[in-house]
Amino acid sequence: MRLKSGSGTPSATESGVKNKQWQGATARALQGVYAGAHPPSLFISKVRELYCELRLDGPPFDPWEVARRLHIEVSEETMAIDGYVERRADETFAIHLRHGVSLARKRFTLCHEIAHTFFFDILEDRRRYRQAGQDDPEEESLCDIAAAEMLMPYGSFSHDLAAAKLGEGLTPSDVLRLMRRYQVSLAAVAARITWISRDTTCVLWEKRGPAINLIWASPSTDRSLVLCQTGRTSVEDAAETPGRDLTSRDSFYQIGDTTRLIRRHASSRRLASGQILSVLSPAKTARDRTTSIHRPAEQHEKPSNQIARSVQTHFAFCQ
């Protein structure tokens, strides 16, 4: 049989999963065997047992080595999806990866597909009743969690993260260093950082004309942040000064049912791509306050140039 996988992108599931209730078919199938078990813990424990047994060197940790030691064949081909795993007639697994994508993406996808093999038999019956090609988002989330643990094991990564935070706190340079050390994508390392360090947010911005728009945020619950463009923020300074970490206390609107103004210690850096990476942590003298601005209801959605302009008209809040 073939089991298709999604893109394997970790950011949304990793960051949004902490308070998730696992009540779907996947959780029920797993809990039917492991009574009362927390599904993410089952996947993470499986990775830890495996790494203990395999005694792999790292970082970076080599998923091809993991596959080889598990007797899983890995091949690459041209296809529309990032990867899938199949169980062959002889009961062995084969993982197919998309040719031509970045190494970081391939590494994450391979780990994600290996995770699909962990509880394959338990989950197989449930898969049989799904429509062909239809992924179960809950199983996909669990495989993303396992993939993050395989590439950035908690023990090793949290130690490196704590060391990076010493001194002036975490900067974009630290994030890029961790990304290279663990050979993962920027989105994956940001998701791991904010998963472990709950008061940290990583944001990727793009400057378009006068507007600075959010591309993604980790955790994803912060994706509604809108920068208060005062001309003095670390994000705006970084946009004009590539290749340096610039630090400031920046203000943001958090768009939601109630729009809040928040201030954060922000360290920003313009990347080679021209995008700007910010690491936000609580301001030492945070003066969060709740306020209301009058916006049409349809602007409650994702930030856009329009929202950025709307927010800028409330410039007084940003001082």
Q: Which residues bind Zn ion (CB under 5 A)?
A: 5, 140, 143
When the beta carbons of 142 and 226 are compared against Zn ion, the nearer one is 142
User: Cα(133)–Cα(97) distance, rounded to whole angstroms?
Assistant: 16
Give least dist CB 143 to Zn ion, A.
5
Give least dist CB 75 to Zn ion, A.
17
User: Cα(203)–Cα(224) distance, rounded to whole angstroms?
Assistant: 11
How far is Cα of residue 218 from the mean position of the Cα atoms in its chain? 6
When the beta carbons of 5 and 267 are compared against Zn ion, the nearer one is 5
Give least dist CB 137 to Zn ion, A.
10
Give least dist CB 10 to Zn ion, A.
12
When the beta carbons of 5 and 183 are compared against Zn ion, the nearer one is 5
Do 141 and 30 touch, CB atoms closer than 8 A?
no
The b-or-e profile of 302-315 (16+ CB within 10 A means b, else e) is ebeeebbebbbebe
The b-or-e profile of 2-17 (16+ CB within 10 A means b, else e) is ebbbbbbbbbbbbbeb
How far is Cα of residue 276 from the mean position of the Cα atoms in its chain? 17
Give least dist CB 81 to Zn ion, A.
9
When the beta carbons of 187 and 307 are compared against Zn ion, the nearer one is 187
When the beta carbons of 123 and 226 are compared against Zn ion, the nearer one is 123
When the beta carbons of 5 and 224 are compared against Zn ion, the nearer one is 5
Do 59 and 67 touch, CB atoms closer than 8 A?
no
Do 197 and 161 touch, CB atoms closer than 8 A?
yes
Task: Identify the burial level of 24 via C-beta atoms within 10 angstroms of its C-beta, where 0-12 means exposed, 13-18 middle and 19 or more buried.
Answer: middle
Q: Which of 198, 121, 194 is nearest to 152 (CA)?
A: 194
Position of minimal CB gap to Zn ion: 5
Give least dist CB 70 to Zn ion, A.
17
Give least dist CB 116 to Zn ion, A.
6
| HSE-CB of 64 using CA atoms within 13 angstroms | 9
Q: Where are the alpha helices (DSSP H) in 55-97?
A: 63-69
When the beta carbons of 87 and 314 are compared against Zn ion, the nearer one is 87
Do 246 and 268 touch, CB atoms closer than 8 A?
yes
Give least dist CB 51 to Zn ion, A.
20
When the beta carbons of 147 and 175 are compared against Zn ion, the nearer one is 147
Token digits for 67?
């596959």
